[in-house]
Amino acid sequence: MPLIDESARGFYVIPATPFTDDGAMDWTSTDRLMDFYLDCGCDGITILGMMGEAQKLSQEESAGFVARVLKRVGTRTPVVVGVTSAGFSLMGDLARHSMDLGAAGVMVAGVGALRTDDQIHGYFESVVKELGPEIPVVLQDFPQVNNVYLSPNLVNQLFADFVTLRVLKHEEMPGLRKISKVRGAEASGTRKRRISILVGNGGQHLMQELARGADGAMTGFGFPEGLVEIIRRWFAGDKESAEDLYDAYLPVIRHENQIGLGLALRKETLRRRGAIASARARAPGPSLDADDHAELTHLLDRLERAKARLGIALPPLRMAGE
C-alpha cells in the first residue's frame, strides 16, 4: 500500500468505531462499515480519531481494530491511524503496529498544555523523532478541542523542518485565512515543499476552503458519498454544481456539527443507512432521545427531497428505518 503524502486529495472519512448494543467491539459492523465507505468512493479512511472514541478503547482493542480494518480494506484505499496519546512511547507503539500491518500513515494532535510556538514546535519535534524517518504523519490542528493553536507561520515552519509531516488536517475555526497563508507559502517560496491540506469540522466551510487551496476534507459525515462527489466536481472544474450540491447537504452538515451530540447523530445515521448494527456510543457518551430522532428524520427527509430537486445521480444507499 502506498504511503500518504503531499498529494493526498479528496475525501478521507473518519469512521465511527462500531460497538454492539452492550458496548463490545462489533467486528462484523467494522467490516460492513469499511465496505460502506469504499462503496461511497472515499479516497481514504482515518481511523481512531476523536470521532472514533479512541480514548475509550483498550490498547488491545485499538490494536485489534487497526488489524481488522487493514485486513478488510487491503490495498483498496489508504488507511491512516490516529495515534495521539499522552505518552510518546504509547504513541510510537501503536504507530509501529499500524505501519507493520499496512497503514498509509498516522495522525497526531498536540496533547497537554502547549501554549507557545516554541512549546508546540518542541512537541512535534519529539513526535517526529519518536516516529522515525519512515512513518508519514498527518498533523491534526484542532484547537477547539485540545487548545493548541498553530499560527500559519508555525505550520509552515513545522512542515519545513520535519519532512515526515505530509498532511495538515485543518480544523481551526475560523480558519479560512489560515489556509490561504499556508498554501500561499508555497507560491511565495517561503516553504519549498508542497503539503496536503485536508479540512475537518464536518466540512462546514468546505467550498470556501477548497477555493483557498484545500485539497479536500478529512472528517466524519453520515453521507460520505456527498462529500466525495462535491470534491470531485470541484476539482473537475464544475464548481457551481459542486456548491449547489454542497448547499443541499449543508443543513445536515451543520446539524451533525454539534460537539458531543454529533457522534450520536453520525452513528445513528450510519445505522439507519445499514452501515452499522448499533448506534451505541461507549460511556460516557451521547445518545439520542425521541426529539433528537424526530429532528434527524426531518432533516434527512429534507435532504432526500433536496437531492431529488438537483436530480442527483448518486446511488441511493440503503436507509434503514428508525
**Distance from C-alpha of 302 to C-alpha of 309, rounded to nearest angstrom:** 11
Chain-centroid distance of CA 156 in Å reads 21
**Distance from C-alpha of 183 to C-alpha of 85, rounded to nearest angstrom:** 29
Which three cell numbers mark 173? 475555526
Contact 129, 122 (CB under 8 A): no
Pick out residues in 119-148 that bind a copy of itself (CB under 8 A). 119, 123, 126, 130, 143
Q: For the CB of residue 182, give the shortest distance to a copy of itself in the complex, in Å.
A: 13
Q: Which is nearer to a copy of itself, 73 or 279 (CB)?
A: 279
Q: For the CB of residue 37, give the shortest distance to a copy of itself in the complex, in Å.
A: 24
Q: For the CB of residue 157, give the shortest distance to a copy of itself in the complex, in Å.
A: 10
Stretch that binds a copy of itself, among 72-80, 81-89, 97-105, 134-142 (CB under 8 A): 81-89
Other Cβ atoms less than 10 A from the Cβ of 23: the count is 14
**Distance from C-alpha of 227 to C-alpha of 278, rounded to nearest angstrom:** 24
Instruction: Work out whether 28 is an interface residue with a copy of itself (CB under 8 A).
Output: no
Instruction: Work out whether 250 is an interface residue with a copy of itself (CB under 8 A).
Output: yes
Instruction: Work out whether 293 is an interface residue with a copy of itself (CB under 8 A).
Output: no
Q: For the CB of residue 289, give the shortest distance to a copy of itself in the complex, in Å.
A: 7
Instruction: Work out whether 289 is an interface residue with a copy of itself (CB under 8 A).
Output: yes
Q: Which is nearer to a copy of itself, 35 or 238 (CB)?
A: 238
Instruction: Work out whether 268 is an interface residue with a copy of itself (CB under 8 A).
Output: no
| Closest C-alpha among 5, 11, 9, 15 to residue 49 | 15
Q: Which is nearer to a copy of itself, 218 or 263 (CB)?
A: 263
Q: Is the dihedral of CA 181, 187, 191, 196 positive or negative?
A: positive
Q: For the CB of residue 38, give the shortest distance to a copy of itself in the complex, in Å.
A: 29
Residue 178 identity (one-letter amino acid): K
**Total number of residues that touch a copy of itself (CB under 8 A):** 62
SS3 155: helix
Residue 304 identity (one-letter amino acid): E
| From 7, 28, 75, 116, residue interacting with a copy of itself (rule: CB under 8 A) | 116
**Distance from C-alpha of 1 to C-alpha of 235, rounded to nearest angstrom:** 24
What is the C-alpha end-to-end distance of the chain, expressed in Å? 38
107's enclosing H/E stretch is strand 105-109
| Closest C-alpha among 318, 253, 258 to residue 288 | 258
Pick out residues in 143-182 that bind a copy of itself (CB under 8 A). 143, 149-154, 173-174, 176-177, 180
Q: For the CB of residue 203, give the shortest distance to a copy of itself in the complex, in Å.
A: 11
Stretch that binds a copy of itself, among 163-171, 194-202, 217-225, 244-252 (CB under 8 A): 244-252
Q: What Rg do the C-alpha atoms of the chain give, in angstroms?
A: 19
Binding site for a copy of itself (CB under 8 A): 23, 53, 55-60, 86-90, 93, 111-113, 115-119, 123, 126, 130, 143, 149-154, 173-174, 176-177, 180, 204-205, 208, 211-212, 243, 247, 250-251, 254-255, 258-262, 282-284, 289, 291-292, 295, 302, 306
